[in-house]
Every structure is written in C-alpha cells, then in structure tokens.
C-alpha cells in the first residue's frame, strides 16, 4: 500500500516521438497511483504549448495534472488569459513560479517575483486553483543570502500558496532546517521534497551547478570513480536516493515529488524499494 503521497514531474516533449515515448512512460508510472503529475514550462515561451498539451493528455487519462506556470516576461493580461484557459481545460492545480528568462529575452514583464504571481492568481481566481510554489532548502542561487531567501519564501506562502515543492537536494539536514525555519517565520504549509534520481553523472553535476543544488563531495567522487560504467552509476544512484527518501520519510515529510526526467525505470525502481507501490 502507498503510505505517502507521491507526484511525478515531466517536461514537455519536443518531437512526435517524444510525445509517444512520454505517453508510454506515464502508463508505466500510473500504477504507482500518483496524487498528480506536473509538467514544466519554458519561461519566455519555448515549451508552453507542449505543457498544456501534455497536461490535457494526463487529465484525459484520468489523473490530476498541474502545469508549471512562470510569470517572468508576462503581462497581467496574458496571465489572466492563461488562467481562463486553464479553467476551461478543467485544471485545478498550478505550480506557480517566477521562472528564468532565456538569454537574450527582452523584458521582465509585469511580475518580478513568484509571490506577485501567487497574489495575482488568488485575486483573479479566488480559491479555484491549488497553488504549489518552489522552495530552496540550500538557497535559491540568485538570493542575496539565506535569510533574504527565507523572507521571500514566507512572502510567497503568505500570498496564498497551498504547498511548496523543493529544488532537489542530497542533504536532508538542509531540508529539515529549512522547514523548521519557515514554520518559525510563519510559513506553515507542507513542503514536499523534490527527488532527483541519479542516473547520469555528468548531467547531474551540470544541472546541480546551474540550479544551486549541492552534490556532496563523497557522491561526486564516487560517481567520477565509476567513469563510463553506467550500470554501477545507476546502482549506486538507486542506493543513495533510496536512503535519502527513507531518511525523509522517517522525518515525516508530507510526500515525495519525483523529477522523472521523462524516464520510468529508475523512478519505478525507487518506489518499489521504498514500498510505495499501490
């Protein structure tokens, strides 16, 4: 029996083959009974059609789905229009983000921070949407310092967020400290850890450097030591991430959000190891 709510994150495929492949991945993951699936969104317009199409497909397959929705570069009128479209599509859940502008993209639009988007969604649509926001236990990479980042997070929660999903991390102390500090500062919403499976060492290091997630030295050195031995990397990665999830579960997390990278095998194996099979 699944004893902990789980959710899966996908990115919108760019090709018809990718669409078919993701549809097959979803069918492999649905038996794990996710609470919902979320679909990422390209700030500045790169993947927005793909996001809504993927969300529609998931809803049509009988599962709850949440588009990620970023406000950077957007106008209030365009956000209002998009929210109306989400409502018309039967969407009830949004992952509300600021986003990052692609390099060379012109203006910042009418929203500076995710907290402004959350406030705007509440003002425009009341309680229609269940709003998830991002959280950064190891600090958002552009924040001035952890205290300023925590203050910004609390503002975002107070603006009307229901749940937070974290950037991935491999250090549970950072997560539990963040949750404690946020609660002390008045932000008392569930903080669901984002879980990144380890399957590809160079990709993990690249992503982590870009998003400010720390890959502890002992994990980096072990991964480097495996060289091109993919099977050993995957076996090691499965052990490490299973232990991480076990520690989180023992500490009472409200759920687990898996960054699937549009792959089923590792996430399925992880859920099986954790006994999270429906």
- Interaction site with ligand FAD (CB under 6 A): 40-41, 43, 68, 70, 95, 97-100, 113-115, 134, 140, 142-143, 148-149, 152, 155-156, 165, 167, 194
Positive or negative, the CA dihedral 269, 170, 179, 258 is: negative
In the bound state with ligand FAD, the residue whose beta carbon lies nearer, of 160 and 234, is 160
- Report how far residue 237's alpha carbon sits from residue 217's, in angstroms, rounded to the nearest whole number: 14
Instruction: Give min distance, CB of 155 to ligand FAD, in A.
Output: 6
Instruction: Give min distance, CB of 108 to ligand FAD, in A.
Output: 12
Instruction: Give min distance, CB of 115 to ligand FAD, in A.
Output: 5
The active-site residue out of 9, 116, 132, 138 is 9
- Angle at CA 86, nearest 5°, toward 84 and 87? 65
Query: Which spans in 35-111 are helix H?
Result: 48-60, 76-88
In the bound state with ligand FAD, the residue whose beta carbon lies nearer, of 168 and 236, is 168
Is 9 in the active site? yes
Is the CB of residue 66 less than 8 Å from the CB of residue 95?
Answer: yes
In the bound state with ligand FAD, the residue whose beta carbon lies nearer, of 70 and 172, is 70
Main-chain dihedrals φ then ψ at residue 18, nearest 5 degrees: -65, -35
Instruction: Give min distance, CB of 28 to ligand FAD, in A.
Output: 22
- Report how far residue 244's alpha carbon sits from residue 239's, in angstroms, rounded to the nearest whole number: 9
Write out the catalytic residue numbers: 9
């Amino acid at each position: 029996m699944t004893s902990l709510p789980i959710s899966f994150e996908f990115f919108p495929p760019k090709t018809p083959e990718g669409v078919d492949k993701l549809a097959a991945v979803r069918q492999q993951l649905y038996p794990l009974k996710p609470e919902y699936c979320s679909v990422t969104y390209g700030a500045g317009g790169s993947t927005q059609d793909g996001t809504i199409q993927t969300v529609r497909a998931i809803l049509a397959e009988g599962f709850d789905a949440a588009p990620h929705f970023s406000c950077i570069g957007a106008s209030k009128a365009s956000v209002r229009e998009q929210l109306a479209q989400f409502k018309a599509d039967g969407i009830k859940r949004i992952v509300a983000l600021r986003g990052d502008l692609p390099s060379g993209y012109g203006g910042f639009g009418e929203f500076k921070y995710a907290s402004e988007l959350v406030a705007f969604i509440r003002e425009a649509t009341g309680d229609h949407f269940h709003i998830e926001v991002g959280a950064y236990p190891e600090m958002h990479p552009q924040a001035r310092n952890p205290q300023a980042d925590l203050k910004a997070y609390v503002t975002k929660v107070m603006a009307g967020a229901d749940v937070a999903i974290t950037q991935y991390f491999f250090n549970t102390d950072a997560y539990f400290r963040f949750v404690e500090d946020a609660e002390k500062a008045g932000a008392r919403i569930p903080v669901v850890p984002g879980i990144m499976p380890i399957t590809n060492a160079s990709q993990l290091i690249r992503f982590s450097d870009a998003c400010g997630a720390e890959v502890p030295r002992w994990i980096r050195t072990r991964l480097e030591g495996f060289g091109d031995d993919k099977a050993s990397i995957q076996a090691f990665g499965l052990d490490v991430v299973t232990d991480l999830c076990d520690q989180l579960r023992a500490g009472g997390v409200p759920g687990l959000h898996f960054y699937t990278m549009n792959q089923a095998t590792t996430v399925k194996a992880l859920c099986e190891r954790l006994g999270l099979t429906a």
